[in-house]
Amino acid sequence: MSQTSQQSARPPAPKERLTGTSVLLSLFLTLILIILGERGLYDLNRLFNPHYQDCNQANFLITRGDSCPAEQFAFQNVLLHSYVSFPLFVIFLILMLYLRHHRLNTWQKALFRVSGVVSIFFGLQFIAEAIIFLLKFHYLVGIYVTLVLAAIMVAALVIYLERRAAKKRSAAQVKR
């Protein structure tokens, strides 16, 4: 037999799977990191938002707008959150693109998934805060931004699901 036929006849190595305990601890770690990040964002806003003392975090003052500069407070809040959320999200995307062709151990995969969930959470939270700000203070722009982002997300989801279905179809044809 030739070298290539021996390689193709060899069964693939079994996939390493996470244990139930690892999955549970990964979920716990994800929750801890999200709580830590939320607390950090709150403190960042409290320390560096120049309108925090004026608005004093009371919802009725912010919505009424006469006791504090509500739009400036909300804008500073979104801006400060973007300083954390956006770089975290971009770094994870760059890492994901870099590591997708590298073979990772199970513990590396577990930590990579945890960091992915956390960075996606904060990225989506930032997008939601920006959309809420725009809808509240710049309604027309907010509508357009919301619709464009929704169209992009739905298109990306369709592309992802179709690629996944195509992989399954091709794998099923290879098995035949």
Domain ranges of the chain: 20-137, 139-176
> In this predicted model, what pLDDT tens digit does every residue of 136-175 receive, in sequence order?
999 999 999 999 999 999 999 999 999 999 999 998 888 8
Contacts of residue 83, Cβ cutoff 8 Å, sequence gap at least 6: 44
Ranges of the chain with pLDDT below 70: 1-16, 56-66
Residue 63: its pLDDT value, please?
Answer: 52
**Residue 118: how many CB atoms within 10 A of its CB?**
21
Residue 130: its pLDDT value, please?
Answer: 93
Residue 174 is classified by DSSP as H
Q: How far apart are CA 80 and CA 46, in angstroms?
A: 10
Query: What is the number of residues in the chain?
Result: 176
**Residue 29: how many CB atoms within 10 A of its CB?**
16
Residue 61: its pLDDT value, please?
Answer: 45
**What pTM value is reported for the model?**
0.72
Residue 51: its pLDDT value, please?
Answer: 81
The two tokens of residue 22 are: 């690892």
